[in-house]
Amino acid sequence: MSKPSGTNYKKVLLRAAVGFLVAVSLAASVRLLSTNGLSPAVVGEVVVTLYVSALVIYGVFWGRMESRRFRVALYFGVVLWGGERFLSGNESVLTVVLILGGMAMVIRELYFTE
C-alpha cells in the first residue's frame, strides 16, 4: 500500500480552505441581504460575490486555474467588482483602477495572447 504524497494533502487542504471561504462569503451575502434588503447596492454586491465564488469553485475544484477561460472570467470579475463599487456610489481611484485595469487585462488576454 503506497503512502499518499504531500501534493495530495496540499490539494485537500487547499480545497477545504476554499470551501470554507466560499461558505463564509455566501453566509455574509445572505446576512447582508437579510439586514439591508434588496437595495441595488446590496444586490450588486451579492451578485459579484456569487460570481467570484462560482469562479473560485470552478478554478479550484475542476482544476481550471491555468486555462484561458478562467483568466478571462477572473479579469471580468475585476471589472464587475469595480462596476459594482461605482454604481453603489464609491467613485474612488481604486474603483477606476479596477474597471480600467480589469478591462485592459480582458483585452490583453483575448487579443494579445496565444
Residue 102's φ and ψ, nearest 5 degrees, are -65, -40
- The pLDDT-based confidence of 4 (bands split at 50, 70, 90) is low
Q: So what's the pLDDT on residue 3?
A: 58
Cell of 25: 462569503
* Each residue's pLDDT tens digit, 23-77: 999 999 999 999 988 888 888 889 999 998 899 889 888 888 888 999 999 999 9
pTM attached to this predicted model: 0.78
- The pLDDT-based confidence of 99 (bands split at 50, 70, 90) is very high
* Residues present in the chain in total: 114
* Each residue's pLDDT tens digit, 73-94: 999 999 999 999 998 888 899 9
Locate the domains of the chain by residue range.
Answer: 8-111
